[in-house]
Amino acid sequence: MQKQDSKPRIIALLSGPDRPGLVAKVAGWIYERGGNVFHADQHQDGQAGIFFQRVEWDSANDPKTEAAEFAAFANNELGMTTEVALSSDRPRVAIFVSKIEHCFHDTILRFKANELPGEIATVVSNHETLGNVTKQYGLPFHHVPVSAATKAEAEKRQIEIVKEAKADLVVMARYMQVLSDDFLKDVGCPVINIHHSFLPAFAGGKPYHQAYNRGVKIIGATAHYATADLDEGPIIAQDVSRVTHRHGPQDLVRRGKDLEKNVFAQAIRWHLEHRILVYNNKTVVFD
Amino acid sequence: MQKQDSKPRIIALLSGPDRPGLVAKVAGWIYERGGNVFHADQHQDGQAGIFFQRVEWDSANDPKTEAAEFAAFANNELGMTTEVALSSDRPRVAIFVSKIEHCFHDTILRFKANELPGEIATVVSNHETLGNVTKQYGLPFHHVPVSAATKAEAEKRQIEIVKEAKADLVVMARYMQVLSDDFLKDVGCPVINIHHSFLPAFAGGKPYHQAYNRGVKIIGATAHYATADLDEGPIIAQDVSRVTHRHGPQDLVRRGKDLEKNVFAQAIRWHLEHRILVYNNKTVVFD
Amino acid sequence: MQKQDSKPRIIALLSGPDRPGLVAKVAGWIYERGGNVFHADQHQDGQAGIFFQRVEWDSANDPKTEAAEFAAFANNELGMTTEVALSSDRPRVAIFVSKIEHCFHDTILRFKANELPGEIATVVSNHETLGNVTKQYGLPFHHVPVSAATKAEAEKRQIEIVKEAKADLVVMARYMQVLSDDFLKDVGCPVINIHHSFLPAFAGGKPYHQAYNRGVKIIGATAHYATADLDEGPIIAQDVSRVTHRHGPQDLVRRGKDLEKNVFAQAIRWHLEHRILVYNNKTVVFD
Amino acid sequence: MQKQDSKPRIIALLSGPDRPGLVAKVAGWIYERGGNVFHADQHQDGQAGIFFQRVEWDSANDPKTEAAEFAAFANNELGMTTEVALSSDRPRVAIFVSKIEHCFHDTILRFKANELPGEIATVVSNHETLGNVTKQYGLPFHHVPVSAATKAEAEKRQIEIVKEAKADLVVMARYMQVLSDDFLKDVGCPVINIHHSFLPAFAGGKPYHQAYNRGVKIIGATAHYATADLDEGPIIAQDVSRVTHRHGPQDLVRRGKDLEKNVFAQAIRWHLEHRILVYNNKTVVFD
C-alpha cells in the first residue's frame, strides 16, 4: 500500500446500479489508454442491486487530465457516481475539539509522522484550553464558544473557518457538542465523529457509565460519519477491549481512550485514502 | 486450575455487606482448622458497599462436613450469603434445544471430553429433530411441543423433567422459545441463555439481520442468566468477531456460530466451577 | 457470499508474471462471452513481480465448457497458472486423525451442517480409538498403524486410501505423525495441518508447554499447508487467545482447542472455496 | 481501581516458599492493626512451590511506618521477599529513546494526562533528534552518543544520569541500542523494553520484515523486562493485530506502532502500580 513513485496514481471510487460488464469496461478503458491497474476491488450488494468499485492505477498520460476524463467516462457512459483523486493530493482536515485531548494529540502526531496522508488545515474548539498546545504544534487555533443561545451563530462562524481553511474533511476529536443538521448540510464536506461506545449499544451521553451499569464484558469505540441523527450515522470502524467486574467507570474511560485513538485514526486514514463508499447508512470499506 | 487429588477441595462463594476483617476472618477460620487455601479472590463494589469472595481450599477434615460448617460460619458470623461446593461435585445440566444444533453438539462433546465439570442430566426440545442424535450420544431426550396455546402446560412439563432429572442448571442451547417468568421462578435452578448478538446491541429477534442492516463492523455473542426481562439478564461472557461489507446476513449467522459455541461453553464452565456471583443484574466472575 | 442459484458459478484462481492489462483482459474475456462477474479480487506482489487474481462469474454458456476454455485462455494467452472450479463442485476431503478428537468432531459436524462446501471422503487414523464414532457418523474409517519401522509402508497404504477415496484434499485433524516428504510428493493433493501454536513461535512438540515455560501472555493456533519442513509450510490462518499466569499447561491445552477448531475450519473453508494461492512459502487469501 | 482518598494506601508485593496459612497471616496482621483490605490477590505456582501475593489496604496508622513494619513482618516471620509502596508514591521514570518517536510521545502524553502514576525523571537519547521537542514538553534531555568504541563509556554516563535523576525505572521507548549486562547490573532499577514482535517469534532485528517474509497472518508487540539475553526477558504484556497479504513491511511497521504504544503503556502502568512479580523468567501480573 506504499507508493514512493514520483508520478501520482489515480484513485477512483465508483458506485451505481449494477449491470454486466462494469469491471471489464473500467479495466478496458484504463488499459487502452496505457494505464496499469495497481489495485482494484469491487463489491456488489445483490439485494440493493448496487455496484461499488475502487480502482487505483498508474496512467501513461497526465494524471490530472486522465482523472477528469475517467470521471466523465464513468459518469456518462457507465452511469456511476464517481469520485476521483490523485495519490499526491493532500486533503485538508479541520479538527474540532473540546477539552478532552487524547484524540487531539494522537491525530496531530499521526499527521506529523506522515501516518495520515493529508494536512491539518485548522483546529476549532469551543474552549480555549488547547489553544497554546495547538500553537506549539504550529497549527492555527480558533476559539468559537458555543452555548444554547449562540449555537446557530457559532456554527456559522465554524463553517466560515472550515471554508477559509479549505478543509476537505472535519473530524470531531471528542468534540463535545452536537453539530446541527444545518451545519452538516452547509459545511460542504464530510464529518467524522468518534463515539466512545460500541454502537448501536450505548448511544447518547456517558456511554462508559452506561456500559458499567449494564455489566458488559467488552467495551468498544465507533468511528462514523456524522448525520442529523446523533450516533446513527454510517459506521466506518469499530474496535473493542475486554473488561471485568474490577473495572469501574473511570477504568473504562481510560481503557476506552486507547480504542478511541486507534479507531478514529483508522477511520480518518481510510477516508483520506479514498477507501470508503456510503450507501443505505452503511459503509463499504475497500481496505 | 487443575486438580487431580483424590481428596476434593472445598469451594465457597460469599457475598454480603462489606466490612473490615472479612478476608482475615475467612482465611483465619480455614487456617485454624488445618486447611490450606489453594485459591482466593475477592472483590469490593465500593459504591454498592458489597463484598464478594471465592475461596478454594484443601481441608484437613471431612470435606462435606467442613463445607457445611464453613457455610454456617459465613452465614451466621460474617452475615454473608454463602454457597459451598466440593470440587468432586458433578452438577447436573439440562439442555434445552430447538432445531439449531451447533451449540447442542458443541456442549455435549465438551461434556464428553471432560472439558466441562458436570453431567448432562437430560435434553429437552420443542421439536423431535434432534431426538435420534441425542439418543446416539446416549442421553435421555424429552420432546415437549410448545405452542402459544399450550405454553403454560408445556412449561409445567419441562419443570417436571428438570426436577426428575435432578438438574442443577438449565442451559438454553439456542432454544428458540422465551421462558416465562413463572418458569424461571419455579424451575428451581439457574438458567443460562446464549444470545446471538453483542448485547445490549440487537436484543430481540434476528440479531444478525439487525447487525447487517445497521452496518456494524464487529458482531458478537452474549451468554447471560435468563431473567423475566428477555435479553436483559446478567451478562456472563461475551465475544466478538470482525466483519466487513462483504458479509451478508448468512455469513454473519455462520461466523456467529463459532462465537456462540465458545461463549456459551465459557459461561457454562464458569458457572459449574462456581466462579460467578450475581448482583444488581451484573456478574462478578472470579476467573 | 451465498449462492442459491441453480446454475453454478465459475471460479478461477490465476497467478503469474505481472504485466499491464491482465485485469482488463480477464474481465473483457468474460464480458464478451456474456458472463457477469460476481466477485473479483486481485493482488500484486510488487517486489516479486507476481500477479494474483480470483474471479467468480456467472456464465451464459455451459459452465464446465466455459471453465475449460477460460483455463486455456488464461494459460496460453495470459501466461498464468490457472485453476478453475465450479461453485457446484463438492471437493472430497480425507481426514487424518490420531486420538485427540476435538478437531475431528468439529470438522465432521461442520461438513454435516453444510458449513464447509465439500464432502468427507474418508477418515484415516493410526489408532482404532475413533473407529466406532466415525462409523456412527456414517463415514468410512481406515486404521493404518504407524511405527518407525512401518512408516514407509503405512504411508503407501495411506496414499492408496486417499486415491481410492478420490480425495482432493487431506486435512490433518491433530494427526500426531509427521508426513514424510515422499508422502507429500506422492499423495497428489494438498495437505492442511493445524499446529497448536502461534507459528513461528513454538514449532515442534508440546507447544503449549513451551508457551507456558516461556511465560507468554497470548497463545495461538496456526493452520498451514504441510511441507517437507515440519511446521514451516505456508500459513493460511491464525488466531490467538489471552492467557495469564493463572493458566497452567493443561489450561492452555484446553483453551487452545477452541482456537484450533476455528482456525482449522477457517483454513479448510478458504481452501474449498478456492480462495488461496501459494507463493514463496506464503499465502494470498482472497477472503 | 481509582483512589482519590487523602490518605495513601499501602501496597505490598510478596513472594516466597508456599506454606499453609500465609493468606490468613497476612490478612490477620492487617486486620488486628485496624487496617482494611481494599484489594488482595494471590497465586501459587504449585510445581515451583512458590506463593505470590499483592495486597492493598488502608491502614489506621501512619502509612509509611505501617508499610515498614509490614515489610519486616513479611520478611522475618513469613520468609517472604517483600516490596512495599504507598499509593501516593510517584515513581520516577527515565525514558531512553533514539529517533523513532511514537512510543516517546505516547508515553509522555500519558504521564501528562495522569494516565500513568509517576513522574518522568529524565529523557536520554543517543541522538539529538528529539531534544527540542523534549524541552517543549518541559523535560530534561540528555544526549549520550553511543558507538561500538564508546559504548562502555556511554553506558557509564547513562547510569550517572539515571542515578542523578533518582529514577526508579528505565523504559526503552524504542531505544535502538542493546543495553549491556553490566548496564543492567549497575543501573540499580528495572528496565522495561518494547519489542516490535510477538515474542518469542521474530526476536532480533527487523521483526516486521521477518514477519512479512514468513507470511504470518497476525503481528504483535511485546513488553518485557530487559535482561542480559536480548529479547529473552520476562514478558509483561503482549498484543496482536491481524494482517493480510496486502500488507507490505511498511504497513506492518505502521500497524505495529499502535500495538507498541499500547503494550508499552500497559507494562509501564502495571509496573508503576506494583502489580508485577518476576520469577523463573516469567511474570505474575495481578491485574
The residues that bridge with C195 in the sheet, in sequence order, are: C222
pLDDT digits 0-9 by tens, A23-60: 999 999 999 999 989 889 999 998 899 999 999 999 99
- Over residues D255-265, the pLDDT tens digits come to 999 999 999 99
Non-local (6+) Cβ contacts of C246 within 8 A are B1, B287, D43
Indicate which residues of C carry an active-site annotation.
231
Strand ranges across the sheet with A81-86:
A81-86, A10-17, A50-58, A36-45, C36-45, C50-58, C10-17, C81-86
Q: Which of A4, A38, A56, A105 to mutate to test binding with chain D, by most D CBs within 10 Å of its CB?
A: A105
Phi and psi at D249, nearest 5°, equal -55, -40
For B6-27, give the secondary structure using H, E and C.
CCCCEEEEEEEECCCCHHHHHH
Dihedral sign computed on CA atoms, order C140, C146, C150, C151: positive
Q: Does C234 touch chain D (CB under 8 A)?
A: yes
Could D36 and B20 be called an inter-chain contact, meaning their C-beta atoms sit closer than 8 Å? Answer: yes
Residues A244-262: what's their mean pLDDT? 96
Domain ranges in chain B? 10-86, 92-285
Residues A74, A53: Cα–Cα separation, whole Å: 11
Measured CA to CA, the distance from residue C156 to residue C183 in angstroms comes to 8
Question: Chain D contact for B186, CB < 8 A?
Answer: no
CA–CA separation, D41 and D274 (whole Å):
12
Nearest CA in chain A to D239: A241
pLDDT of residue D38: 87
| Residue the block writes with cell 453431567 | B119
A286 is written with which cell numbers?
475497500
Which three cell numbers, joined as nine digits, stand for B12?
A: 465457597
Interface contact flag, A20 C41, Cβ < 8 Å: no
3-state secondary structure of C149: coil
Q: Are A232 and A203 in contact (CB under 8 A)?
A: yes
Q: Does D83 touch chain A (CB under 8 A)?
A: no
Q: What is the pLDDT along chain B (287 residues), one digit of tens a residue?
A: 444 457 899 999 999 999 999 999 999 999 999 998 988 999 999 889 999 999 999 999 999 999 999 999 999 999 999 999 999 999 999 999 999 999 999 999 999 999 999 999 999 999 999 999 999 999 999 999 999 999 999 999 999 999 999 999 999 999 999 999 999 999 999 999 999 999 999 998 999 999 999 999 999 999 999 998 889 999 999 999 999 999 999 999 999 999 999 999 999 999 999 999 999 999 999 98
Ranges assigned E (strand) in chain D: 10-17, 36-45, 50-58, 81-86, 92-97, 119-125, 141-143, 169-172, 191-195, 218-225, 235-242, 276-279, 282-285
Cβ neighbours of A2 in D, within 8 Å: 248, 250-251
B41-53: string of b/e by CB count within 10 Å (b at 16+)?
bbbbbeeeebbbb
C130 contacts C104 by C-beta, under 8 angstroms: yes
Distance CA C181, CA B149 (A): 66
Q: Supply angle C-alpha A242, A247, A253, rounded to 5.
A: 80
User: In the 8-state DSSP scheme, what is residue A167?
Assistant: -
Over residues D142-169, the mean pLDDT reads: 97
Q: Measure the CA–CA gap between C164 and C160, rounded to whole angstroms.
A: 6
Q: Hey, are the CB atoms on B27 and D31 less than 8 Å from each other?
A: no
Confidence of residue A151 (pLDDT cuts 50, 70, 90): very high
Going B21 to B24 to B27 to B33, the CA torsion angle's sign is negative
* Structural domain B92-285, CATH architecture: 3-Layer(aba) Sandwich (3.40)
List all chains that touch chain C, counting a touch as 3 or more CB pairs closer than 8 Å: A, B, D
Q: How confident is the prediction for chain C on average, in pLDDT? A: 95
Query: Domain A10-86 belongs to what topology?
Result: Alpha-Beta Plaits (3.30.70)
Q: What angle do CA D184, D186, D192 make, to 5 degrees?
A: 30
β pairing state of B276-279 and B282-285: antiparallel
Identify the three-state secondary structure at position B90.
coil
Please state, in angstroms and as integers, the Cα–Cα distance from residue D235 to each residue in D194, D222, D284, following that order: 10, 7, 10
Residue A230 has a pLDDT of 84
Residues 17-56 of chain A with CB under 8 A from chain C are 20-21, 23-25, 27-28, 30-32, 34-42, 44
Q: What is the DSSP letter of C196?
A: S
Task: Report the percent of chain A where pLDDT is more than 90.
Answer: 92
Q: Which residue has the cell 482456525?
A: C263
Among D231, D239, D251, D287, the active-site one is D231
Min Cα separation D43/chain B (Å): 7
Q: Spell out a b/e string for A265-282, using b for 16 or more CB atoms within 10 Å of the CB, else e.
A: bbbbbbbbbbbbbbbebb
Q: Mean pLDDT score of chain D, rounded to an integer? A: 95
In 3D space, the residue among C96, C224, C226 whose CA is nearest the CA of residue C158 turns out to be C96
Average pLDDT, chain A: 95
Q: What is the pLDDT of residue B136?
A: 95
3-state secondary structure of D239: strand
Q: Is the pLDDT of residue C46 over 90?
A: no
Would you put residue A191 in left (φ > 0), alpha (ψ -120 to 50) or beta?
beta
Cα A119 from Cα A166, distance rounded (Å): 11
Indicate if ipTM > 0.90.
yes
Distance CA D73, CA D82 (A): 10
Q: Which residues pair with D225 in a beta bridge?
A: D192
Size of interface B-C (CB pairs under 8 A): 37
Rounded distance between C-alpha atoms, residue D130 and residue D99, angstroms: 7
Name which of B31, B38, B39 is nearest D24 (Cβ-Cβ). Answer: B31
Q: Name the band, by pLDDT with cuts 50, 70 and 90, for residue D121.
A: very high
Asked whether A182 and A155 are in contact (CB, 8 A), the reply is: yes
* Residue range C238-254: mean pLDDT, rounded: 95
Which cell numbers in the block locate residue D84?
Answer: 512495599
Q: Distance between CA atoms of D141 and D95, rounded to whole angstroms?
A: 10
Half-sphere exposure of D28 (CA within 13 A, CB side): 16
Report the distance separating Cα A189 and Cα A172, nearest Å. Answer: 13
Nearest CA distance, C2 vs chain A (angstrom): 10
Chain D nearest C-alpha distance from C227 (Å): 14
* All residues at 6 or more sequence positions from D190 whose CB lies less than 8 Å from its CB, including other chains: D169, D170, D225, D271
Residues of chain A neighbouring C21 (CB-CB closer than 8 A): 31, 36
Of B2, B101, B287, the CB nearest to C248: B2
Contact indicator for D119, D90 with CB cutoff of 8 Å = yes
Q: Is D185 on the interface with C (CB under 8 A)?
A: no
Q: How far apart are CA C130 and CA D280, in angstroms?
A: 40
Residue D239 CA to its chain's centroid (Å): 16
C-alpha cell at C86: 465450479
pLDDT surpassing 50 at residue A1: no
CB pairs under 8 A between A and D: 37
C61 touches C30 (CB < 8 A): no
CA A154 to chain centre: 23
Q: Write the residue in C21, C34, C242 that is nearest to A31 by C-beta.
A: C21
Mean predicted confidence (pLDDT) in C106-118: 97
Q: Coil, helix or strand for D5?
A: coil
Q: Which chains touch A (3 or more CB pairs under 8 A)?
A: B, C, D
The answer to whether the CB of D279 falls within 8 A of the CB of D48 is yes
Q: Which amino acid is at C258?
A: D
Can you give the pLDDT at residue D230?
85
Q: Starting from the edge strand earliest in sequence, which strands make up the sheet with A235-242, in order?
A: A141-143, A119-125, A92-97, A169-172, A191-195, A218-225, A235-242
Could you tell me what percent of chain A has a pLDDT over 70? 98
A282 or C36, which is more confident = A282
Structure confidence at residue C47 as a pLDDT band (50, 70, 90): confident
Neighbours of B25 (CB within 10 A): 20
Predicted local distance difference test score (pLDDT) of residue D47: 87
**Nearest chain A residue (CA) to B43:** A246
> Chain C: nearest CA to B184, how far in angstroms?
31
**Distance between CA atoms of residues A110 and A119, nearest Å:** 11
Q: Are C176 and D198 in contact (CB under 8 A)?
A: no
Distance CA C197, CA C204 (A): 9
CA distance A130 to A119: 19
Q: Residues C248, C93: contact at Cβ < 8 Å?
A: no
The dihedrals phi and psi of B60, each to the nearest 5 degrees, come to -75, -20
Whether B251 is a known active-site residue: answer no
User: Quick one: pLDDT at residue C6?
Assistant: 73
Environment class of A86 (CB within 10 Å of its CB; exposed 0-12, middle 13-18, buried 19+): middle
Rounded to whole angstroms, the Cα distance separating D120 from D105 reads: 12
**Closest by alpha carbon to D190, among D148, D141, D223?**
D223
Tens of pLDDT along A211-239? Answer: 999 999 999 999 999 998 889 999 999 99
Helix pair B102-112, B249-272: axis angle to 10 deg: 30
pLDDT of B38 reads 87
Q: Is the pLDDT of residue C1 over 80?
A: no
Q: Which of B202, B216, B239, B275 has the most A C-beta neighbours within 10 Å, making it the best mutation to test the interface with A?
A: B216
- DSSP secondary structure code for residue A179 in this structure: P
